[in-house]
Amino acid sequence: MITDSDIKKLKKIFATKDDLKKFAAKEDLKRFATKEDLERYATKENLKEELQQLEKRLTNNIIVFKDEILHEIIALRDDFTMISGHRDMLEDHEIRIGKLEKAVIIH
């Protein structure tokens, strides 16, 4: 037959109704996210891929921008060279005109 001390020992070993109420019930667990819920969010791999694509686009944009700037610099350098050549030619013309004016005034 079971004695009071046996019942006390069993209460220590097995969970009582009050103990079980402290644990989450099936309804409580429904509030937590499921695998299907978590599939909506980005994974580490998704984020890595997005970051790599962003890096590629940014690198490409920088390369295109640098190329455009380089072409502008080359065009400016060509313009400067042409203007410098014209300036030299104009100075030469001024010297020649000055010589002609002196020659005409003298005669």
Query: How much is the mean pLDDT over the chain?
Result: 87
Query: For residue 77, is pLDDT > 80?
Result: yes
pLDDT at residue 89, as a whole number: 82
- Its pTM surpasses 0.85: no
Secondary structure of residue 35 in the 3-state scheme: helix
C-alpha span between 51 and 42 (Å, rounded): 12
What are the start-end ranges of the H helices in the chain? 4-13, 17-21, 26-29, 35-38, 44-106
Report the phi/psi class of residue 32: left, alpha or beta, with left for phi > 0 and alpha for psi in -120 to 50: beta
Residue 28 has pLDDT above 90, yes or no: no
Res 27: pLDDT: 75
What band does 65 get if pLDDT is binned at 50, 70 and 90?
very high
SS3 91: helix
